[in-house]
Structure 1
Amino acid sequence: MADSLYPLTFTPVLKHYLWGGRNLERLGRILPPHGVVAESWEISGHQNGVTAVDNGPCAGRLLTDLHAELGLDLIGRNCAWAQARQKFPLLIKLLDANLPLSVQVHPSDDFARTHEGNELGKTEMWVVLQAAPNAELILGVKAGTTPAAFRQAVESGRLEPFLHRLPVKAGDHICVPAGSLHAIMSGLLIAEIQQNSDTTYRVYDWNRVGDDGRPRPLHLEKAMAVINFAQVEPGLRPPELVAEQKGVRRWRLCANQYFVTERVQMAAGATFTGACNGESLEIWGVIAGEVRINRMTLAAVRFTLLPAALGEFAVTAVTGATLLRTYAGA
């Protein structure tokens, strides 16, 4: 088991959806020569796209196989809820919204378990890595929206007046609990941290057609059952500064029952020390600059998984660097 307890990196799994483009090349992803790529699944134990380790003694092994072998030593005691369902808890993605995504919603754990077999619900969060001028996204509904009026607007193909739009720019973060009506609009490159789920209820698809020339299916009945209509015109939340010392500043971005995500800003030469003591895995993503994590060098944009039983670790900034740190809270 000791051979498996080191910072793990993975070969991404690429996903092809009609709203994607070629912009993930700007983040260092190697894309097929033709066609569009919408998502890069960076760390995934989901059956629809399991990532394989690409470094160290475990190179070539699937994350699901490591999880089956290591259990809580990989994911941590704070993720016992996921272990009980034999699930890796999180899924890390990069998204290229070259075109708008559909207006959609994700279910809670309870709803997903009832209606989608052993699939988890999907609480997620986004960090905007790059944004075109005037970029925006949709989160929640406009004031005065009722479920009946909303449904009628979907069925008549005129949902736009009920959608709450938020301007966004590079560096912004957005917390998206299960039940949030949302859509990522065009011109955005985003890092997404979410529960390990691939369940999406499509509500509205801008009256467009899919690759086969036909409208993509909607999931209106399930969507209406899970949309939080009380989420009225939410705004962006400011980051919360939680620590500042010796060239390292940490801000909490989102915290929920499944994960906590921080932004970590490091001056060149600064070091952050921590310990994976069995409570939780940690996932670190370099979104600008270059760092060393123990003996491994990691440059933007890459993610690494620190097993829960790893023990002490050190992150040292080779250059000035910005990172995302995710772990499961108590």
Structure 2
Amino acid sequence: MPEVLTAPLTLEFPFTRSLGPVQSAFLTGLRERVVLGVRTTDGRTLVPPVEYDPVTADELRDLVEVAPTGTVTTWAWNPEPRRGQPLDNPFAWVLVRLDGADTALLHALDAPGPDSVRTGQRVRVRWAETRTGAITDIACFEPCEGPTAEPSGHSGEFEDAVTGIVAPARLDYTYGPGRAQTDHLAALAERRTVGERCPSCHKVYIPPRGACPTCGVATTDHVEVGPAGTVTTYCIVNIKAKNLDIEVPYVYAHIALDGADLALHGRIGGIPYDQVRMGLRVEPVWTEGSRFPDHYRPNGEPDADYDTYKELV
């Protein structure tokens, strides 16, 4: 049995959102080195501001400037910063109640070590040198001594307001496919396609899952399927995908390999996109050094009768 595989994977995409009047003013204010909160119906000032009162659900629009100094209400030390965090060196995550605010703002505190951080500590904003209208315009907080800093007296009205942001979302993780898919991937490296048969219903699943999704029992009986198969359904792709060097339009299809009871996903090549059809008989095409088929192409056999694959559509 091959060693169970693991692989580092990254899921990353840009998240674009528009801003309402409150968030727009808050982020535009940060660009101008002004921190704005919003006043609730009972007179509290919320920083960061929100558009609706969390207690009454009333709409909030009364913007209030607060000071760039404040007090640490709680904290946690971060000894090993990760990619994309505010500081590269070890720092403290802190909740800071800015002077004039009734709620706390989460950000980073640049401190030499955990012994130099405490609840009740006075801190101030360290502004980023380049500011664009984002929470990162606050580079971090830093310890300070002395009285409350005076707000600038800004009204909250700005020219060229920030109306939208693009926030990168990224997840780095280690994926372990498990025993069943490890066996499947090892067979693909030998240009064989191997699934597993359920001992109860006798269906063959590809890729194998280690358990039958219908019966819920473990599957260990290996079954080689294909290599030929039948297109059961398909879609035409008209949008160029990032980092995918394929001329559009192209076709992705569900392909029922001979001997399998579950269709897999694969690209169809070697034929104009408008000639792909249900029932088309195809075979895998491997490229040099690839661990899986690059695409599937027609193998010259007559189209399969619909009744032979209708349960897999």
TM-score (norm 1): 0.21
* Structure with greater helix share of residues: 1
Q: Which has the higher contact order (CA 8 A, sep 6+)?
A: 1
TM-score (norm 2): 0.21
